[in-house]
Amino acid sequence: MSKSLFRILVTLAFGTFGASTMHAAFPTVALKAISVGELQAPVNISNAGDGSGRLFICDQRGTIRIIQNGMLLPLPFLDITAKVIALNSNYDERGLLGLAFHPDYSNSARPGFGLFYVFYSAPSPNVQGNPAPVNCRSTISEYRVSANPNVADPLSERVVLAYDKPQGNHNGGELVFGPDGFLYISVGDGGGANDNNFGHTGGGSGSPSGVLGNAQDKTKLLGKLLRIDPLGTNRPGLQYGIPADNPFFNFQSGEREEIFAYGLRNPWRASFDDGPSGTNRLFLADVGQDNYEEINIISLGGNYGWRVMEGTFFFDASTPYGGGALIPPIAQYAHPGILTGPPQLGRSIIGGYLYRGSAIPALVGKYICGDYNAGAINSGTTLGSLIGIEELTPGGAWTVPVALNIVGGNPFATHLLALGRDDAGELYIATEGIQGPQNNFPTGQPTGGIYQIVPDTYVPTWRESWLLQYFPFLQFVPDAADPDGDNISNLLEYAFALNPLVANPPGAGFQITTAPSSPNTVMTISFRRDPRATDLTYTLQTSSDLVTWTTIAQSVGGAVASGSGIPSESDVANNFPIKLVVTQETIAPAQGQRFARLQVTH
């Protein structure tokens, strides 16, 4: 029997989007609510790649929560709140930002079994002022799951890599394992603005032009995409190994060997196209400075231009980056009010995925990302959006980014914090109703939400509709719970089509009676069945010894009950379409006692 019920379909409150041309190849989609009002600031959605169907959600303040069977489990998978630096109430880019499971997480024969990695902002032991300020320490740590698959061992932390940051913003924070088995880590340029503050190579007060900046300084980790082997040992003194084909492996000029690519400002979310028919290319979204947001395909040793370029436009052409090719983005869009170049779709890109799921065939092979806030700056609006691009020819040009058509409108009236993917390739979004990792709605509820991207033709299952009727607030609703105290669990209340919040009399859904029929006894067993509950299997069994059970009636997937002991299945009076299944068994005196049980599973 499953431990939790499925989630409900509700609709986000959406704003209206300005004039936009929708690319014909993009289908209209809808957003199915999975969790609303239970998470504070969900900034990462991951899966364990173990076929369990679970989603793991990083709440920025320091907890990892699990969504299983469409519901948020009440206990955290991991809580490292005490390790995360204290966050500001109204806005903060620090916190628990990234999560990745080792590719061998579910393989007990491999050294990566049960291991996962987190990226979080910790207080730094170093206290430095200008020109070498330290705001926090970005920390990548390894943890291990406990014997309970839904709970990690909080004492298993092994710090893999840690480095200080000069400012609190531009953290990057993505962790993703590649098809090569190595861990990729996105790192922001250190924060502030323009990659030109104290703590940025050549920067300082007054933001002088022509400075190198951290993103172009290959002796620093900041402003880079890193690649390491977290279980490797080829670099004594480090807690990780360096892949031998990293572009600066064994260089002697101070370049950091961990660097895979550089010239990045604030790479917020990256993903491999590693689903069915995928190309294994690495897509990375880089948040822009003042004017443009960009999407990149990352290649080994590539220089993606920051702070020389912002998108395909010069930001500071005098930056002494050392020459060579600067790789342009495959797509870009402009901030509201920027009239030069691409369409105005937002101001802070949220990286996504090239869709390889099966629920929306017309979306397969298209890259879906979004924006934190598509509204004008200082307007007070909270308008997240979803955006798509598609490849025109294999390895060729991509379409101009467009806002997706979403049932209810796009953008929507929440900030977009992250996109995620389950182990079946379906996509999800994480939202925040009020800016800031500590803020609640006036009702006291947290403002975070998790939604699945579904076809516009999506129809709620009967399970979802039943839950919506009785449990509209998206709280965790376990099968075994009995909120009305009538000794009928939630699962059975659903199976019998009863109200789970009002006590029902004994035998409301399942009854056993006996009557003499000389010299035998006739045992009559009846149970209610809801044919709309196609996710359930009803199995009625009898036994004389509580060890060996014989099935006498069964209904699977909403079908009419069948079996050797069924004299009738009829409509329940005034309660269409509920059915009453009635069975009988004749018990001879020599058979002695007889037991009956009804199992309901999904």
Instruction: Decide if pLDDT at 78 tops 60.
Output: yes
Q: What residue spans of 325-434 are helical by DSSP H?
A: none
Q: Is residue 153 part of a domain?
A: yes
pLDDT(18) > 90: no
Confidence bin at 377 (pLDDT 50/70/90): low
Looking up tokens 């480090």, which residue turns up?
238
Q: Average model confidence (pLDDT) for the chain?
A: 92
CA–centroid distance for 259 within its chain: 27
Which of 435, 468, 501 corresponds to the end of one domain? 468
Say if CB 421 and CB 47 are below 8 A apart.
yes
DSSP one-letter string for 355-376: ---SS-GGGTTEEEEEES--SP
Q: Residue 7 pLDDT more than 70?
A: no
3 state SS of 528? strand
Residue 569: phi and psi, rounded to 5, are: -140, 120
118/218 same-domain check: yes
DSSP string, 44-85: EEE--SSSS--EEEEETTTEEEEEETTEE-SS-SEE-GGGSP
| Residue 479 included in any domain | no
By the 8 A CB rule, do 581 and 555 touch? yes
CATH number at residue 531: 2.60.40
**What pLDDT sits at residue 5?**
27
In a domain, 340, yes or no: yes
How would you classify residue 254: left for phi > 0, otherwise alpha for psi between -120 and 50, otherwise beta?
left
Q: How far apart, in whole angstroms, are the C-alpha atoms of residue 218 and residue 200?
A: 12
Q: Give the count of beta carbons closer than 10 Å to the beta carbon of residue 437.
A: 27
Domain that holds residue 570: 510-601
Distance in angstroms (rounded) separating the CA atoms of residues 380 and 38: 24
How many angstroms separate the Cα of 407 from the Cα of each of 13, 31, 385, 468? 11, 8, 13, 19
pLDDT in tens, 217-230: 999 999 999 999 99
Residues 457 and 530 in one domain: no
Question: Residue 10: its pLDDT value, please?
Answer: 33
Same domain, 198 and 132: yes
Give the pLDDT score at 13.
33
Binned at pLDDT 50, 70 and 90, residue 441 comes out as: confident
Residues 567 and 455 in one domain: no
- Taken in order 140, 83, 44, 138, is the CA torsion positive or negative? negative
- Pick from 80, 242, 247, 51: nearest CA to 154: 80
Is the pLDDT at 8 greater than 80, yes or no? no
Cβ(298)–Cβ(284) below 8 Å: yes
Res. 322: pLDDT tops 90:
no
Instruction: Give me the percent of the chain exceeding a pLDDT of 70.
Output: 95
The count of other CB atoms within 10 Å of the CB of residue 565 is 20
Q: Are residues 545 and 423 in the same domain?
A: no
Question: Has residue 380 got a pLDDT over 80?
Answer: no
Of 468, 491, 524, at which residue does a domain stop?
A: 468
Say what the pLDDT of residue 378 is. 59
What is the token pair recorded at 529?
A: 């069945």
- The answer to whether residues 460 and 569 belong to one domain is no
Residues 529, 388 share a domain: no
| C-alpha dihedral sign at 517, 522, 528, 529 | negative
| 316: pLDDT strictly greater than 90 | yes
Question: How far apart are the C-alpha atoms of 171 and 163, rounded to whole Å?
Answer: 11
Q: For residue 51, what pLDDT is reported?
A: 95
Q: Could you tell me if 408 and 545 lie in one domain?
A: no
State the Rg of the chain over Cα.
Answer: 28
Q: What is the CATH number of the domain that holds 204?
A: 2.120.10.30
118 assigned to some structural domain: yes
Average pLDDT over residues 328-340: 95
pLDDT at 471: 86
Cis preceding-peptide flag for 442 (omega within 30 of 0): no
> Does residue 23 have a pLDDT over 90?
no
Q: Are 67 and 34 in contact (CB under 8 A)?
A: yes
Q: Indicate whether 24 pLDDT > 70.
A: no
Query: And the tokens for 344?
Result: 């105005």
On whether residue 4 sits in a domain, the answer given is no
Largest CA distance in the chain: 104
User: 3-class DSSP state for residue 465?
Assistant: helix
Query: How many Cα atoms occupy the beta-carbon half-sphere of 304 within 13 Å?
Result: 33
Residues 464 and 542 in one domain: no
The total number of structural domains in the chain stands at 2
| Residue that the structure tokens 């509950």 belong to | 533
E strand or H helix at 33: strand 29-39
The pLDDT value recorded for residue 302 is 97
**Residue 497 CB-density burial (10 A; 0-12 exposed, 13-18 middle, 19+ buried):** buried
pLDDT in tens, 570-582: 999 999 999 999 9
Asked if the structure places residue 485 within a domain, the reply is no
Alpha-carbon span 249 to 229, nearest angstrom: 13
Residues recorded for the chain: 602
* One domain, residues 440 and 526: no
Instruction: Judge if 541 and 462 occupy the same domain.
Output: no
Last residue of a domain, one of 468, 485, 519: 468
> Is 58 within 8 Å of 67 (Cβ atoms)?
no
Residue 483 within a domain: no
| Pair (421, 556) in one structural domain | no
